């Protein structure tokens, strides 16, 4: 059996409104070349994010109806808590409305001004939340993994050498925690090996620094461990997941990813003191600890989705469909980040548009062109997202200029993917005609969401 099919039937459909290139030209102008400002109705294939955009299963929808909305001690909370505990194994579990709420609470509890928080690569909300505490987020990836064209099975791994150097040369009281993002979203959806998780954990224990995992794509990461790390080929996804989290002191989770729901998150820890402080902050801004800013029905759907995301047939289909898209682009020499990762294809815009300098946001130029030509919306992961203006008014840039085509879970079919391939190849053929963008308005944090741009 060579053809891998979508392991589901479709029960409910959502129409896609078709529009023309002339329509899209006007829309792009009106949105100041910022795709976050475009209405979803004006998008044909939406690959902006895989966050909260997945299709829930009939089981999850049944769970939505079953949701127990009692203020305290609801059944849905108990089901959620038992499921999270069963999968991740932590003592204290707090539901939050999103991943970033879990981050804000964790970093408010653990970080102080002047601290340093190492990671393989911090995600944008993680980075922003650490900066907001006055602490410094640091990314520790091996230099050879930073080349988008180099092929290694676990390019998400944290550099053990760099981590050791950092821990040896920093006052340990200033390192309140180590974060490990699985899979490494900003680093191309690349997985982290179990060996690397064990090595990071060993160092963390040696230096007495807690290790937390950014768990958003835990199931996809576990799938890569099963496929690429020989010792685990006969392990179930759940067994691998249990093992991964046994090496950390806690985790933050956006349920909008590998719990396949539209909203939600949670924060786990084994540390009673941290848990108590977290809980008090949660009550202040999120809600009572048995719902944490979510409805009972959300908790029910998260509990069901966490298990569905670990289903091997689902993961086979998911990872293979990303690989399919990637391979078709590679056949036409489109420069993408290799090897293909878990939830998205990342086009290397600095190679794709090598004539546009990073000061003119080649990633954003490409993202806008894919929208113009095909109504495809994707996101820039480059200097618009990670660059900015420093304290001295000097402009700084991201290491990579990427465009991310993130695949919502269980949402699009293969013919949608074939359409995306056709548009990208067409844009690639005409790439020399494209020119740069400049920012006319921006904010200090997470500027990519609201920045306004125009053609240079
Ligand atoms: C999405 C994401 C977050 C933040 O989660 P939200 O639910 O969007 O707040 C944090 N880390 C990673 C790796 C993510 O992908």
With bands split at pLDDT 50, 70 and 90, how would you rate the model's confidence at 417?
very high
Q: Whose CA is nearest to atom 4 of ligand 1?
A: 99
Instruction: Report the share of the chain in percent with pLDDT over 70.
Output: 100
Q: Is residue 3 part of a domain?
A: no
The pLDDT value recorded for residue 312 is 97
Asked, for residue 5, whether it belongs to a domain, the answer is no
215 Cα–ligand 1 center, Å: 9
The whole-angstrom separation of Cα 421 and Cα 429 is 12
Q: What is the pLDDT of residue 104?
A: 94
Binding site membership of 218 for ligand 1 (Cβ less than 6 Å): no
Domain termination residue (choose one: 308, 339, 368): 308
Pair 243, 386 in one domain: no
Going by the DSSP 8-state scheme, the letter that residue 292 receives in this structure is T
Could you tell me the two tokens for 369? 């062109």
Q: What is the pLDDT of residue 285?
A: 86
The answer to whether the CB of 209 falls within 8 A of the CB of 177 is yes
Mean pLDDT in the chain? 95
Is the Cβ atom of 379 under 6 angstroms away from ligand 1? no
Same domain, 173 and 299: yes
Here the CATH number for the domain that contains residue 327 is 3.90.1150.10
Find tokens 């990670």 and name the residue: 386
How many domains does the chain divide into?
2
- The pLDDT, as a whole number, for residue 411 is 96
424 and 292 in one domain? no
Output the pLDDT for position 399.
87
In sequence order, the 6+-apart residues with CB closer than 8 A to the CB of 20 are none
Residue 105, pLDDT > 80, answer yes
Residue 2 lies in a domain: no
Among 74-78, 218-222, 245-249, 386-390, the range scoring the smallest mean pLDDT is 386-390
Does the Cβ of 99 fall within 6 Å of ligand 1? yes
Question: Which segments of 233-309 does DSSP mark as H helices, in order?
Answer: 237-246, 272-285, 296-308
Residue 161 in domain: yes
The answer to whether residue 8 sits within a structural domain is no
How would residue 309 be classed by pLDDT, with cut points 50, 70 and 90?
very high
Kindly state whether residues 354 and 246 are assigned to the same domain.
Answer: no
pLDDT at 1: 63
- pLDDT above 90: percentage of residues in the chain: 86
Q: At residue 123, what are phi and psi to the nearest 5 degrees?
A: -75, 165
pLDDT band, residue 386 (cuts 50/70/90): confident
d(CA 213, CA 111): 16
Question: For residues 105 and 129, is the Cβ–Cβ distance under 8 A?
Answer: no
User: In terms of domains, do 122 and 178 share one?
Assistant: yes
Asked if 154 and 264 sit in the same domain, the reply is yes
| 283 and 302 inside one domain | yes
Write the pLDDT tens digit of every residue in 310-333: 999 999 999 999 999 999 999 999
Task: Please indicate whether residue 125, judged by its CB atom, sits closer than 6 Å to ligand 1.
Answer: yes
DSSP string over 79-144: HHHHHHHHHH--SEEEEESSHHHHHHHHHHHH--TT-EEEESS--HHHHHHHHHTT-EEEE---HH
For residues 427 and 370, the answer to whether their CB atoms sit within 8 Å is yes
pLDDT of residue 273 exceeding 90:
no
Mean pLDDT, rounded, for 357-362: 96
Q: What number is the average pLDDT over the span 13-18?
A: 96
Q: Is 9 exposed, middle or buried (0-12, 13-18, 19+ CB in 10 A)?
A: exposed
What is the mean predicted confidence (pLDDT) over 279-295?
A: 88
Same domain, 278 and 317: no
In a domain, 432, yes or no: yes
| Cα 260–Cα 36–Cα 17 angle in degrees, nearest 5 | 75
The finding on whether 126 has its CB within 6 A of some atom of ligand 1 is yes
- Ligand 1 atom 12: the closest Cα is on which residue? 123
Residues 184-203 have a mean pLDDT of: 94
Same-domain status, 108 and 215: yes
116 and 236 belong to one structural domain: yes
Looking up residue 131, the CATH number of its domain turns out to be: 3.40.640.10
Which residues make Cβ contacts (< 8 Å) with residue 422, sequence separation at least 6?
A: 374
Q: Does one domain contain both 274 and 324? A: no
pTM of the full structure: 0.93
Give distance in angstroms: CA of 97 to centre of ligand 1.
11
- Going from the Cα of 193 to the center of ligand 1, the distance in angstroms, rounded, reads 20
Please give the distance, rounded to the nearest whole angstrom, from the Cα atom of residue 217 to the centre of ligand 1: 9
CA distance 405 to 424: 11
* 289 belongs to a structural domain: yes
Q: Would residue 40 count as lying in a domain?
A: yes
- Between the CA of 379 and the centroid of ligand 1 the distance, in Å, is 14
Residues of the domain holding 119? 58-308
312 phi and psi angles, rounded to 5 deg: -70, -35
Is the C-beta atom of 364 inside 6 A of ligand 1?
Answer: no
Identify whether residues 249 and 337 lie together within a single domain: no
């Amino acid at each position: 059996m060579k053809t891998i099919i979508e392991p589901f039937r479709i029960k409910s459909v959502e129409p896609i409104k078709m529009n023309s290139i002339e329509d899209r030209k006007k829309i792009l102008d009106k949105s100041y070349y910022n795709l976050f400002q475009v209405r979803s109705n004006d998008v044909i294939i939406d690959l902006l994010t895989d966050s909260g955009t997945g299709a829930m299963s009939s089981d999850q929808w049944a769970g939505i109806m079953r949701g127990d909305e009692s203020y305290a001690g609801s059944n849905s909370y108990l089901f959620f808590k038992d499921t999270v505990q069963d999968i991740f194994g932590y003592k204290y579990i707090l539901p939050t409305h999103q991943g970033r709420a879990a981050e804000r609470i964790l970093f408010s509890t653990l970080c102080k001004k002047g601290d340093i928080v190492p990671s393989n690569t911090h995600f944008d909300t993680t980075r922003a939340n650490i900066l907001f505490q006055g602490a410094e987020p640091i990314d520790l990836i091996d230099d050879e993994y930073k080349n988008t064209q180099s092929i290694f099975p676990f390019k998400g791994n944290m550099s053990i050498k760099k981590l050791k150097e950092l821990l040896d040369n920093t006052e340990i009281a200033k390192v309140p925690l180590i974060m490990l993002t699985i899979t490494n979203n900003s680093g191309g959806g690349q997985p982290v090996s179990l060996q690397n998780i064990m090595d990071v954990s060993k160092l963390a224990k040696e230096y007495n620094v807690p290790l937390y995992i950014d768990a958003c794509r835990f199931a996809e990461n576990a799938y890569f461990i099963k496929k690429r790390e020989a010792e685990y080929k006969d392990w179930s996804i759940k067994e691998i997941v249990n093992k991964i989290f046994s090496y950390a002191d806690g985790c933050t989770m956006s349920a909008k990813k590998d719990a396949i729901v539209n909203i939600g998150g949670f924060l786990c820890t084994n540390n009673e003191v941290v848990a108590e402080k977290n809980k008090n902050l949660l009550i202040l801004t999120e809600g009572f600890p048995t719902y944490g800013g979510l409805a009972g029905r959300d908790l029910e759907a998260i509990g069901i989705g966490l298990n569905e995301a670990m289903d091997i047939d689902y993961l086979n289909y998911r990872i293979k469909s990303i690989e399919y898209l990637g391979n078709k682009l590679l056949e036409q020499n489109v420069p993408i980040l290799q090897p293909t990762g878990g939830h998205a294809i990342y086009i290397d815009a600095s190679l794709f548009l090598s004539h546009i300098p990073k000061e003119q946001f080649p990633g954003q130029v490409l993202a806008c062109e894919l929208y113009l030509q095909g109504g495809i919306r994707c996101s820039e992961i480059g200097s618009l997202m990670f660059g900015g203006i420093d304290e001295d008014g000097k402009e700084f840039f991201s290491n990579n200029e990427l465009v991310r085509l993130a695949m919502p879970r269980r949402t699009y079919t293969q013919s949608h993917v074939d359409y995306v391939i056709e548009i990208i190849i067409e844009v690639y053929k005409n790439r020399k005609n494209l020119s740069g963008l400049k920012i006319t308005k921006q904010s200090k944090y997470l500027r990519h969401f609201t920045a306004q741009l125009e053609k240079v």
